[in-house]
Structure 1
């Protein structure tokens, strides 16, 4: 892969469809309990929270964004991060551990984890800290980032 190539990949978490499907019985139950507003509202809000969760973490997109790497959960674009290539020092294929799990959180090894599904990731060393980006294409992403890091002057 040469440094002029762009990168864009989206990984999907099919488990989120199950989470979204669980919200349907919550809405049906809320409708049946409509005469008891407290219970109906609580169950309906629970269903909405499940839909929100499924919509926020149903996919993880990693893309070249001119002078930075864009990492975004979706399809609801609520959680995203943009990392300048000039702040990157290295990119290597790694694996997260079971304890590091999925989602967005601080790693036990230091640095942030942005992972949707599985244990394959790319560890990106930054000027200050590091980030683990989960992907089902770790080698391709690492090669792309290594080429961009080599091409981009440090700040």
Structure 2
């Protein structure tokens, strides 16, 4: 997740630097307007230091001055024997918050751009409002997940077994699950609308935007790939190499059949039963890890996946 944040953060800075020349000479409300160069300097500074302070800066404070961190059960989670694991988990969670800030800054910048460039694709006011509400809800869910993760003491864990030298990283099993609503509905509609606008000689920006968005969504979310290797379990969405998640087989305590509710939907969700990664259907496998975390992986072949995991957890 941190790598995704770094790429999105870099893309934001490049986007802002490449489009500053299209900004009006004065930016903002008439009574509070500031020169373009001054506005861009402030926005770049906020984008750089705001994201850094929220992610890497917060982790630096947690590492150097744990007493300044406002974290539930702080003394327990930041004790020397747990600090590194806590900081690793906290870093991934702060990366999600950083991505939200990147989207916020990108939206604010584009809104100023579209006001100065009427020929560019215009996002309606209702869409900006909906986006703000969505970011607010995501932040609330993020905060609830943080409180739930660190609001209780770590469970007593069993000793970690010695990694078996006979295990390799060779691929043992692989499942690819298409996200059919995206492939069958969104992609054809998006490409069809974009091509229709293109052949009607509509605004080029609008045509490219409506064609590119479903293609990008499909590349990022169009399928779920789950793989079992000799020493680990990995899964990812789309055709991009990231984001990718993995769990060492030695970290798995139990694997059992489970189901997801239709209301939980598809994609990546934080639920009361841990994180859910699902592409289609309601069948899943629930994993319990040695650090107490639980997660569910959607699968169309739960028996095969469970059989492989149980045999390798047992050391066969």
Shorter-chain TM-score range: 0.7 to 0.9
Structure 2 CA distance, aligned partners of 1:28 and 1:12?
24
Structure 1 CA distance, aligned partners of 2:239 and 2:251?
27
Structure 1 CA distance, aligned partners of 2:195 and 2:175?
36
Structure 1 CA distance, aligned partners of 2:266 and 2:299?
11
Determine whether 1:81 maps to 2:245: yes
Q: Secondary structure at the match of 1:17?
A: helix
- Which range moved further: 91-100 or 26-35? 26-35
Deviation sequence 1:102-143 (CA, Å, 0-9, x none): 101211x23111100000000011123111000000111111
Higher Rg of the two aligned structures: 2
- Which range moved further: 41-50 or 112-121? 41-50
Runs of 4+ residues over 6 Å off in structure 1: none
Structure 2 CA distance, aligned partners of 1:68 and 1:134?
17
Matches within 5 A, 1:1-155: 6-18=172-184, 19-32=186-199, 34=201, 36=203, 40-107=204-271, 109-128=272-291, 129-151=293-315
Aligned-residue offset at 1:43: 4.5
Q: 1:84 to 1:26 in 2, by over 3 A?
A: same
Q: Which structure dedicates a bigger proportion of its chain to strand?
A: 1
CA contact (8 A) 2:275 2:296 kept: yes
Q: Secondary structure at the match of 2:241?
A: coil
* Gaps in structure 2 of 5+ consecutive residues: 1-166
* Gaps in structure 1 of 5+ consecutive residues: none
TM-score, scaled relative to structure 2: 0.42
Q: 1:75 to 1:35 in 2, by over 3 A?
A: closer
Give the number of the structure with larger relative contact order, counting CA–CA contacts within 8 Å between residues 6 or more apart: 1
TM-score, scaled relative to structure 1: 0.81
Structure 2 CA distance, aligned partners of 1:51 and 1:126?
35
- Which range moved further: 98-107 or 85-94? 98-107
